[in-house]
A = this chain, B = another copy of it.
Amino acid sequence: MFAPKGIAIVGASERSAWSWQTFGNLRRGNYPHEIHLVNPKGGEIHGQAAVQSLRAVEGRADLAVVLTGPESVPAIMDEAAAADVRNLVVIAAGFGEAGDEGARMERELAARARDLGLQILGPNNLGFINTVTSTYAWTSLMPASLTPGSVGIVSQSGALGIFLMNYLQSRDVPFSHLISVGNETMLTVAEGMDYLLSQDSTKVIALYLEAVRNKDLFIDAAERALAAGVPVVAYKAGRGAVGARVTAAHTGSLAGDDRVYSAVLAQHGVIRVDTIEDLVTTSGLLDAYGELPGHRVGFVTASGAMCGVIGDVSEENGLELPELDDSTVRALREGGLPDFATAQNPLDTTGYLTVNPAIMPMSQEAVARDPNIDILVIHGGVPATPEAAAMYSGGGGEQRKSIDEISPVPVIRMEFFPTERTEFARELRREGKAGFVADSFTRGIPALAKAIRWSELRRSRKSELPAVQPPRLDLDTSTQWSERQAVELLAGHGVPVVPQHLVTSADEAEARAASFDGPMVLKISSADVAHKTDVGGVALGLRTPAEVRAAYERMIADVRAAQPQAEIEGAVLSPMRPEGLDLVVGVVRDQVWGLTLVVGLGGVWVEVLRDSAIRVLPANTAEVRRMFTELKSFPLFEGFRGAPPVDLDHLAEVVSSIANVAAACGDRLEALEVNPLRVRGDKSEVLDALIRWV
């Protein structure tokens, strides 16, 4: 598909903009194989003799770019199969994105393709570009020439590609492939990733995502990319409600819950960026530098205002700027940094630079050699013209080695304000005479922070045990369960739960109560009662067997009165536990991603602030442990107001064991929720739980 030896343009016509654009792109890109124009009327098109049918190119084309309307596509597919043209780019709109009738047509298209042994890219896309093989199978506008690069791009929007190509050039981020997948009827983003991973040219994969259709291959490809050291950077549209509605109309797919997407991407090492511009900056930075060696960053600039911006943006993005080592401060002073300049990180060489330009390379080198610095960021661009380049290297500095040659750590350039790279500037970098410029500090620092986190995740992953899928339990899911049954299931599989005793009469309640020391809790046990407190189904702080007896009698009567139809199996008697942090731990089935684990702190945290962390299962214990630190309420876990700090390792084990029980429940599990899991220091206990079957 992506490196065809011979291409046929089906629906070629002088009058079609699609036709002359596609043909022109392939020609201008110096496509090294034959281009065939197919039109039933034959004749000369774009100055070349056309053939009347795909049959005429049998054996001479691997790919057909189909420019016709949706109705003629099935017949063209038959011809393609007959002519052994196995790959089709179908650009026609009016399929799944256009409503029910279109969706039916698209299903038929895919079925026919499978029957005929064809691969389809699209429909409703703009084609693809492979700069490595000079294959510009692109049906719309594009720059006249492209430099082959190593960023592979898969996009669920074709129009994005048109604009993205110019922006990539202006930022000097050359790409290897740009694949517009359209409605993804056969080839989805995941297949695109899979293909790119198979190509030696791929150093970074960049994605424009609206929804993931082939989730298993997507996760698999993401994990293989992480293992192979190929960063995957994704911009995902549809973050908010408005966005989701809009993209649904666009691709005919339902965007899943965006927070689940965020969780999945992070969990599998995919770097999610906040803006479409950041997709380019972050991909470009990772393309230029690959895995970064550490997280401590030193900055050298020529302005205090830059330092202010750097400080602010770094803090927002969690970048660590260590203090300069004493040896570095000495080197700076000895090298001529004036007294009115403060020797700190970020370093401002001050306007004294105008008097003595040599303090800039001296300062860069001093900070690069600082023992506490893993990465050096300098302020700098690339000369846009030969004249600027001459000025740049002027002043007798020609023999001086560049900071890139001297520095023991990676050197990244950022600008105060973003500027475009000219063709001259791009050529300088291709010749190795200029470094990569990671946009402005505003964009470059977030990109750097993400690249650092990706590098650290990659390293830490090597020492983590993979998550395991627990063996399936054999459970009776034919009727809904009571909460007692849910708690017992957890208890039976190693989850710590509060002792609970089912009592079925007032006598039994009283007798059982006699064996308890402290205050007790009595709760109704019934699969039919959803909100126990609302119907008088909970009694707290019972102190004596007599109180328990009275509570039992009152509770049964109250619940009977409120829900006469409810089947009541009795009540559950438990000891009342001291206060602690009450966590909500839920495993729920997501439409797109399957079982997801949700953890949050109860009360206002979950109810008002929606403070929760999400992972898709399976997730290993290290991953579960990271969930707590993501919560806004995390300070409460660290020992707030004299409470003992929570033992996060222990808690991660307990939450993992709950997740494992849920995962073992099988396909009929709709939700398993523990509410609360009471946590205090290194103890945690399930106080209540529920299970719902589909």
Which residues of A are interface residues toward B (Cβ below 8 A)? 17-18, 91, 93-94, 97-99, 102, 124, 126, 140, 155-160, 163-164, 166-167, 170, 208, 210, 237-247, 249-251, 275-277, 280, 302-316, 321, 338-340, 342, 344, 346, 348, 350-352, 354-355, 415-420, 440, 442, 604-605, 607-609, 632-633, 635-636, 640
Knowing A604-B636, A608-B640 are in contact, say whether A276-B417 is a contact too (CB < 8 A): yes
Pairwise interchain contact A277-B339, C-beta atoms closer than 8 A: no
- Which residue among A163, A243, A312, A346 has the maximum number of chain B CB atoms within 10 Å of its CB? A312
Instruction: For A246, list chain B residues within 8 Å (CB).
Output: 304, 307-308, 310-311, 344, 346, 348
Checking B250, B277, B635 against A305 with a beta-carbon cut-off of 8 angstroms, the contacting residue is B250
Shortest Cβ distance from A238 into B: residue:
B308
- Which residue among A97, A124, A160, A351 has the maximum number of chain B CB atoms within 10 Å of its CB? A351
Knowing A243-B308, A305-B250 are in contact, say whether A164-B417 is a contact too (CB < 8 A): yes
Distance A268 CA – B268 CA, assembled complex (angstroms): 46
Majority-rule SS of A interface residues:
helix
Knowing A159-B302, A277-B440 are in contact, say whether A240-B315 is a contact too (CB < 8 A): yes
Distance A276 CA – B445 CA, assembled complex (angstroms): 14
Checking B312, B351, B354 against A243 with a beta-carbon cut-off of 8 angstroms, the contacting residue is B312
Distance A418 CA – B237 CA, assembled complex (angstroms): 18
Checking B240, B249, B303, B635 against A304 with a beta-carbon cut-off of 8 angstroms, the contacting residue is B249
Pairwise interchain contact A243-B277, C-beta atoms closer than 8 A: no
Knowing A94-B340, A159-B302 are in contact, say whether A308-B237 is a contact too (CB < 8 A): yes
Pairwise interchain contact A308-B210, C-beta atoms closer than 8 A: yes
Instruction: For A308, list chain B residues within 8 Å (CB).
Output: 157, 210, 237-238, 243, 246-247, 250
List 17 A-B pairs, Cβ < 8 Å. Answer: A93-B338, A94-B338, A98-B340, A99-B339, A102-B340, A159-B351, A237-B311, A239-B316, A243-B308, A243-B315, A246-B307, A247-B311, A277-B440, A418-B418, A604-B633, A608-B635, A609-B609
CB distance from A385 to the nearest CB of B (A): 13
Knowing A126-B351, A340-B93, A348-B250 are in contact, say whether A157-B304 is a contact too (CB < 8 A): yes
Instruction: For A91, list chain B residues within 8 Å (CB).
Output: 351
Instruction: For A604, list chain B residues within 8 Å (CB).
Output: 604-605, 633, 636
Knowing A276-B416, A307-B250, A416-B163 are in contact, say whether A340-B97 is a contact too (CB < 8 A): yes
Instruction: For A155, list chain B residues within 8 Å (CB).
Output: 305
CB distance from A142 to the nearest CB of B (A): 13
Knowing A17-B354, A159-B304, A305-B250 are in contact, say whether A275-B442 is a contact too (CB < 8 A): yes
Shortest Cβ distance from A441 into B: residue:
B276
Distance A240 CA – B312 CA, assembled complex (angstroms): 6
Instruction: For A159, list chain B residues within 8 Å (CB).
Output: 302-306, 351, 416
CB distance from A100 to the nearest CB of B (A): 12
Distance A44 CA – B312 CA, assembled complex (angstroms): 47
Distance A632 CA – B608 CA, assembled complex (angstroms): 9
Pairwise interchain contact A157-B354, C-beta atoms closer than 8 A: no
Can you list the 4 inter-chain pairs with the closest CB atoms, starting with the nearest?
A250-B304, A237-B308, A159-B303, A157-B305
Pairwise interchain contact B239-A351, C-beta atoms closer than 8 A: no
Pairwise interchain contact A316-B416, C-beta atoms closer than 8 A: no
CB distance from A246 to the nearest CB of B (A): 4
Shortest Cβ distance from A208 into B: residue:
B305
Pairwise interchain contact B166-A311, C-beta atoms closer than 8 A: no
Shortest Cβ distance from A277 into B: residue:
B442
Pairwise interchain contact A311-B417, C-beta atoms closer than 8 A: no
Instruction: For A247, list chain B residues within 8 Å (CB).
Output: 304, 307-308, 311
Shortest Cβ distance from A636 into B: residue:
B608
CB distance from A43 to the nearest CB of B (A): 22
CB distance from A358 to the nearest CB of B (A): 14
Instruction: For A313, list chain B residues within 8 Å (CB).
Output: 275
Pairwise interchain contact B17-A170, C-beta atoms closer than 8 A: no
- Which residue among A98, A124, A240, A417 has the maximum number of chain B CB atoms within 10 Å of its CB? A417
Pairwise interchain contact A417-B351, C-beta atoms closer than 8 A: no
New contact pairs (19) apart from A17-B355, A97-B340, A159-B302, CB-CB < 8 Å? A91-B351, A93-B351, A94-B339, A102-B340, A155-B305, A157-B303, A159-B306, A159-B351, A167-B419, A208-B305, A237-B305, A237-B309, A242-B312, A244-B311, A249-B342, A276-B305, A276-B416, A276-B417, A604-B604
